[in-house]
Amino acid sequence: MQVPAALEYERASDVDHALNLLGRYGDTAKILAGGHSLLPMMKLRLATPEYLIDINDLHDELGYIRIDPTEARIGAMTRHRELLESDELGRMFPIFADAERVIADPVVRNRGTIGGSLCQADPSEDLSAVCTTLAASCVIRGPGGDRVVAMDEFHQGPYETAVGDDELLIELRIPVHPNGSSAYEKVERRAGDWAVVSAGAAVWLEDGVLSDARVGLAAVGPNTNGITAVSEACRGQAPSEELFARAGELAAQHCEPSTDQRGSADYKRHLAKELTVRTLRQAVRRIVERN
Amino acid sequence: MTTTEPKRTERFEDNDQKPVGYGRMLRKEDPRFVRGKGRYVDDVQLPGMLHLAILRSPMAHARIVSVDTSAAEALPHVHAVVTGTMLADKGLAWMPTLSNDVQSVLATDKVRFQGQEVAFVVADDRYTARDALELIDVEYDPLDPVMDVRKALDEAAPVVRDEIEGKTDNHIFDWETGDAGATEKVFAKADVVVSEDIVYPRVHPAPMETCGAVADYDAVDGRLTLWSTTQAPHAHRTLYALVAGLPEHKIRIISPDIGGGFGGKVPIYPGYVCSIVASLVTGKPVKWMEDRSENLTSTGFARDYVMRGEIAATKEGKILAIRTHVLADHGAFNGVAAPVKYPAGFFGVFTGSYDLEAAYCSMSAVYTNKAPGGVAYACSFRITEAVYLVERMVSRLADELGVDQAQLRLDNFLRPDQFPYTTKTGWVYDSGNYEPTMRKAMEIAGYEQLRREQEQKRARGEIMGIGVSFFTEAVGAGPRKDMDILGLGMADGCELRVHPTGKAVVRLSVQTQGQGHETTFAQIVAEELGIPPADIDVVHGDTDQTPFGLGTYGSRSTPVSGAAAALVSRKVRDKAKLIASGMLEVSIADLEWEKGRFQVAGDPEQSVTIQDIAMRAHGAGDLPEGIEGGLEAQICYNPENLTYPHGAYICVVDIDPGTAHVTVRRFIAVDDCGTRINPMIIEGQVHGGLTDGVGMALMEMIAFDSDGNCLGGSLMDYLIPTALEVPDWETGYTVTPSPHHPIGAKGVGESATVGSPPAIVNAVIDALRPFGVHHADMPLTPSRVWEAMCGNPQPPI
Ligand SMILES: Cc1cc2nc3c(=O)[nH]c(=O)nc-3n(C[C@H](O)[C@H](O)[C@H](O)COP(=O)(O)OP(=O)(O)OC[C@H]3O[C@@H](n4cnc5c(N)ncnc54)[C@H](O)[C@@H]3O)c2cc1C
């Protein structure tokens, strides 16, 4: 049995209470959401918080998926399983269900949260790639109130985020545009393993051309990254295999994979291309099939 | 004689036929496990028990400059902090390994692998013990580590074992088998010679339960009780007696329920010794239970063979000879657990299932700065490596000759009339009939259709492969004239008592770790005595309760202890017959055995059951002249030879052309382990072994970086397959009994782990033929397969 270091534990009853506790304990405290990233790190003693602030009772307050005509809002305590099982979210953003099906296993998905996933800021984190793809923004609450941070600024390097010691991630906001769809693909060595590489794509069609297209990649850089070159190349173009291939090349060029046990840098670059092509193709196919 | 399988419909109820003897029945031990009533070492709680944690080296190779334990000792609730120097004062800093080397219990001079034991703490609870580790201040002077096995023998390589008098290199031993000259002659005249560099990477058995012990030393009567995760309780007791100087009769080893062993629980680990020392020092019971990372980084690894394989054949496809040179990485201490005369285990069976003219193997074993071990993970003493080598080489030859993999094997198999067959490396295969087994696998697979499907898919740009492997194993060590571990013969005792009411208890020297001994051995006795298995209790895993024997590993339990259980039952039956003759008032010659009863020949109405006889044996009634009361017997079985199970495996894989991801779509395993005692348990063993095979072939590997850091120290880094990576196993069987085993049974515990990796790799290579790939090493992760597809296959080390 791997045993964590000694710590104090407190259960927050609402967001304000959690913020109070954070204010009091500062950087000696850690928020405990689903615990599926934090607890393994504590058992390995890679994380040794003196205080653990459990926010699972905030699930009522922060566990929600609300979709209106211009924006989808997802509470930070929404669990993987809820994202997987939401039909409404699945219709609007099929990328979520695609991704959730390949995140970990049911045990992890029952507890792990979208807030915890994003705050963990692991370079191979799947929901971060999804949120990057969808140009989500993050609502962070602190003593001075709420601030909204775009995904590009939310992650500030591996395991680092814009959330301050006295702040909490509250919500994810995803813009809704007409006639779009999305898709996600991941290559893993084994079910439940972290991605060797994964890619998400989101596209919007207007009069037969792409009004916008976005691709987000995981595990090929310090954080999940959106490939703006792909968006620029696709905007205003009619979807075609040639276009997808060009987008794939661009994705391969604009990522920074490194060699590790999951695969060589060359292979990961190859996957960035392959998965970009596949997800763009699938996202477009979904719009066509829906219409 | 070989029997093939009758058609059977797969239904769960079929597994509960309640046989009085052999047949499908649910496992007697399972209700305990499924209801959470298993009792493992970590479940042992004793009054006043303390907890031990081990400080391990963060470095692969470094001199220990100083160890300061004062802060740890000052931590409240800490009872003792012990270092290598303190053990050295007691003469306990080093202990013998199972291969006549020594291994340090706690490092004194330097550390030799990352994860090596440096000091231990004993505290009131596990948390404090762990916290105190962080307060021990060790100053290390880093040395260059020897991580690349190919460079271990270089002149400039740092010397790992410089504490050995006069040691100036990292050489452990050279070993050879076969006839170098004769093999060279055959190679020289052969039309076709193919060679390949093949690596069997370092893997870990990773049992669900990690290693641990509870040591309880009673200073008053000088008795040590040790609950420990061991596959060989009796062997451990003797070794503790020899090493620690405790009298053997004062040591009791209890190996309770064991959560998987796979050979990883054969060696004595420093942690066990530390717990004993801790109990001696504190006078209290002490528990040590390693965590997952400790298990993966410090306990017995498996494989790590770098092999050069060569195969010679005629252009018509007659295999003539196999030759290999092996570089074996044994880590920092030679801790291989194998019979003493077999430093390379049973690797000598690398000649496989084929009729060769010559064979030769040379091997060099070396020290590196990695964890010790080397025989684990269901490897049948290195047969895993041997079978992988020969089966890769045969498929490689098929590739070269442009003939079908299955056909080449069929054309070269040993014929049934050649058995018993002495191989070119001196192994005597007891029995075998290979062709029906191979044909059966091909029939279940629909081999011809699969080849047609592959052709069509190739035309469409899809990537599909079919891999074949055929293995012969040598299991059931072993004849005492040839085999011993540190001087202990590999025979096994068995004791059987039939109680007055006809219920029985059988006591074994072997130790189950999930193999289902409590069921199988009850069935063996049931078959011989005609008592239902439910009426037979199987006792094992406690040296005070069971006769001496060497334990369970290398698929030896049924070949050795199974034979003992059958023979001890026959001894009891012989006595029962004498008593029956008295009860029925007929001469022995007039009695016939009908399962469960003796009856008068020609008058079956006149009979007595084994239960009647048991009551008479213990009762007040008359017994025949000279017969003592009671109905029990004891035996020690010394096997005359090993048993040689065989099997034919066929694997079908699909590879995603874009991502190079391998999916095992189908896997057909036809096993021949001789007489089948409980087919359901055999299938379970096969299913588990096949899953292991998928793990090794596709994902498992203990890797290191060049600084000597172990990259596989958690189950996030060291991948084990899940249900999603394995297909529905398709199993079949043939039955070729062992001629020398009393019930004709052979071992089967490791067959599937041995036989499946080459089938999977052969399938992947077969799939990649259009890419010009001839070989790629395990683990065949998507990245490594993609590199092969790009014409750039890389060895894993
Ligand atoms: C076996 C296993 C397999 C996995 N496989 C995958 C996979 O394939 N893909 C994948 O993407 N993930 C995977 N994960 C990770 C999983 O998705 C985690 O659940 C997730 O990354 C973290 O979510 P959590 O709610 O458990 O966060 P926690 O572990 O509770 O927290 C993670 C970090 O975020 C902080 N935090 C949490 N919530 C907030 C908040 N609202 N505001 C500020 N800080 C916060 C915590 O303090 C902590 O530092 C796996 C995990 C396991 C155990």
Tens digit of pLDDT for each residue in A92-128? 999 999 999 999 999 999 999 999 999 999 999 999 9
Q: What is the CATH number of the domain that holds B660?
A: 3.30.365.10
Same domain, B661 and B770: yes
Confidence tier at B11 by pLDDT (50, 70, 90) = confident
Same domain, B615 and B528: yes
The protein residue whose alpha carbon is closest to atom 47 in ligand 1 is A31
User: How do the domains of chain A map onto residue ranges?
Assistant: 8-53, 61-175, 180-290
How far apart, in Å, are the Cα atoms of A149 and each of A115, A153, A171, B64?
Answer: 14, 6, 11, 50
Does an H or E element contain A231, and which?
A: helix A228-234
State the CB neighbour count (10 A cutoff) for residue A9: 10
Q: In angstroms, what is the C-alpha Rg of chain B?
A: 27
Q: What are B's interface residues with A at a Cβ cutoff of 8 A?
A: 42, 126-127, 130-131, 289, 291-293, 658-661, 698-699, 703, 711, 714, 716-717, 719, 721-722, 724-725, 781-783, 786-787
Tell me the average pLDDT across B73-98.
96
Tokens of A262: 């999951």
Confidence tier at B1 by pLDDT (50, 70, 90) = low
Are the CB atoms for B67 and B133 separated by under 8 Å?
A: no
Same domain, B506 and B613: yes
pLDDT score for B621: 87
Decide if pLDDT at A213 tops 90: yes
Residue B788's closest chain A neighbor by CA?
A267
Q: Before B158, cis peptide (omega within 30)?
A: no
How far apart, in Å, are the Cα atoms of B344 and each of B202, B363, B477?
Answer: 15, 8, 14
Give me the half-sphere count of Cα atoms (radius 13 Å) on the Cβ side of residue B719. 24
pLDDT score for B163: 97
pLDDT score for B547: 97
Q: What is the DSSP letter of A19?
A: H
What are the pLDDT digits (tens) for A225-270?
Answer: 889 999 999 999 999 999 999 999 999 999 999 999 999 999 999 9
CATH topology of domain A8-53: 3.30.43
The dihedral of CA B433, B436, B442, B444: what is its sign? negative
Expressed as residue numbers, the domain containing B252 is 41-143+210-258+265-298
What are the pLDDT digits (tens) for B277-331?
Answer: 999 999 999 999 999 999 999 999 999 999 999 999 999 999 999 999 999 999 9
Confidence tier at A291 by pLDDT (50, 70, 90) = confident
Tell me the average pLDDT across A143-160.
95
3-state helix, strand, coil in chain B (%, to 5): 30, 25, 40
CATH for A61-175, options being 2.40.30.10, 2.40.10.120, 3.40.50.720, 3.30.465.10: 3.30.465.10
Asked if residue B66 belongs to a domain, the reply is yes
Same domain, B9 and B96: no
Q: What is the DSSP letter of A94?
A: H
Shortest CA gap B554–chain A (Å): 28
Same domain, B531 and B612: yes
Tell me the average pLDDT across B123-147.
98
Decide if pLDDT at B272 tops 90: yes
Asked if residue B204 belongs to a domain, the reply is no
pLDDT score for B5: 65
Residue of higher predicted confidence among B208 and A225:
B208
Confidence tier at A200 by pLDDT (50, 70, 90) = very high
Residue of higher predicted confidence among B10 and B469:
B469
φ and ψ at residue A282, rounded to 5 degrees: -65, -40
Same domain, B24 and B105: no
What are the pLDDT digits (tens) for B229-240?
Answer: 999 999 999 999
Tell me the average pLDDT across B713-722.
94
Last residue of a domain, one of B606, B637, B668: B637
Same domain, B567 and B515: yes
Tell me the average pLDDT across B655-672.
98
Same domain, B651 and B779: yes
Same domain, B631 and B677: no
Q: Calculate the average pLDDT of chain B.
A: 96
**Ligand 1 atom closest to Cα of A194?**
8
Tokens of B549: 């024997």
Same domain, B250 and B131: yes
Q: Is the pTM of this model over 0.90?
A: yes
Q: Which of B722, B684, B732 is nearest to B700 (CA)?
A: B722
**Chain A interface, mutation test: which of B783, B784, B789, most A Cβ atoms within 10 Å?**
B783
Asked if residue B326 belongs to a domain, the reply is no
Mean pLDDT lowest for which of A229-233, A286-290, B1-5? B1-5
Decide if pLDDT at B218 tops 80: yes
What are the pLDDT digits (tens) for B773-797?
Answer: 999 999 999 999 999 999 999 999 9
Decide if pLDDT at B709 tops 90: yes
Same domain, B499 and B450: no
pLDDT score for B9: 58
Q: Which of B53, B90, B115 is nearest to B287 (CA)?
A: B53
* Domains identified in chain B, total number: 3
* Non-local CB neighbours of B376 within 8 Å, separated by 6+ positions: B204, B205, B262, B263, B264, B266, B300, B301, B302, B337
Q: What are A's interface residues with B at a Cβ cutoff of 8 A?
A: 1-3, 5-6, 40, 44, 105, 187, 189-194, 196, 261-264, 266-268, 270-271, 274-275, 278
Task: Please state which architecture CATH assigns to domain A180-290.
Answer: 2-Layer Sandwich (3.30)
Tell me the average pLDDT across B365-369.
98
Decide if pLDDT at B102 tops 70: yes
Partners of A194 on chain B (C-beta within 8 Å) are: 716
Asked if residue B381 belongs to a domain, the reply is no
Q: What is the CATH number of the domain that holds B277?
A: 3.90.1170.50
Same domain, B724 and B771: yes
pLDDT score for B376: 87
